[in-house]
Amino acid sequence: MLTLGIDTAESLGGVALFDDGVSEERMMQNPLEHAERLVPLIDEAMGSCGRSRDEIGRIAVNLGPGSFTGLRIGLASAMGLCQALDVPLVGVPGSVAYRERAPKARRVCVVIRSRRNLVYAQWFAGTKPREGIQLLSESELIDRLGEEARELTLVGSAAEAIYDQVTDQPYLLLGDEEARRPSPLTIARRGAEEESADRLSDVRPIYVEPILA
């Protein structure tokens, strides 16, 4: 079954196609091109693989956290395509997709860029979240990371920027480059692996409010 993955949660969006023998990913070249480039990217990926839209059997979309506008564009586009093609939709949390790209790490903190000096952060023990996604200032996150007493790997689009500020912490590691950039292909692959799809009316983007002291 050919699965289309859509990822517009961050400034650089992209799409991917996944199936047995098919693994195609296309990223936008410039930030914040979601509205203009999403549909053309899908057509480019289809043409590259020699496939057509009517071969799509499922669509997967990054639910966030991330850009409010980007998430709405991605989800609206995914829902429109699902209705037009009469195929199911799977929502994939972006933090879970990032965590999946560090399979050898036992403890992980996913750190995703937000606005200004804010980041989204979620801790994982194994593959399971230890707590919900939080919107923190960089200084708040750095303070929390300073309390770590066991090995913890940082992944996500803001991981390197944070790691550069905590290199004196012996228990903190930086994930591989692949685990520090958006991956529509991971969204597509995870969507293909889900046993059941979501009802369109049940799929909602993940918006995270800051923690108030």
Q: Helix 34-49 to helix 68-85 angle, to the nearest 10 degrees?
A: 40
How would CATH label the architecture of 2-93+183-202?
A: 2-Layer Sandwich (3.30)
Write down the pLDDT at residue 173: 97
Please state the separation of Cα 105 from the chain's center in Å: 18
Residue by residue, pLDDT tens for the chain (213 residues) are: 999 999 999 999 999 999 988 899 999 999 889 999 999 999 999 999 999 999 999 999 999 999 999 999 999 999 999 999 999 999 999 999 999 999 999 999 999 999 889 999 999 999 999 999 999 999 999 999 999 999 999 999 999 999 999 999 999 999 999 999 999 999 999 999 987 777 787 888 998 876 544
Write down the pLDDT at residue 211: 55
DSSP of 16-77:
EEEETTEEEEEE-SSTT-HHHHHHHHHHHHHHHHT--GGGEEEEEEEEESS-HHHHHHHHHH
Angle at 32 between CA 67 and CA 2, to 5 degrees: 80
Condensed to tens digits (0 to 9), the pLDDT of residues 78-124 reads: 999 999 999 999 999 999 999 999 999 999 999 999 988 999 999 99
Beta bridge partners of 129: 124
Q: Are 34 and 28 in contact (CB under 8 A)?
A: yes
102-180 folds as Nucleotidyltransferase; domain 5 (3.30.420)
Portions of the chain given CATH number 3.30.420.40: 2-93+183-202, 102-180
Cα–Cα distance list, 72 to 13, 85, 202, 210 (Å):
13, 20, 14, 20
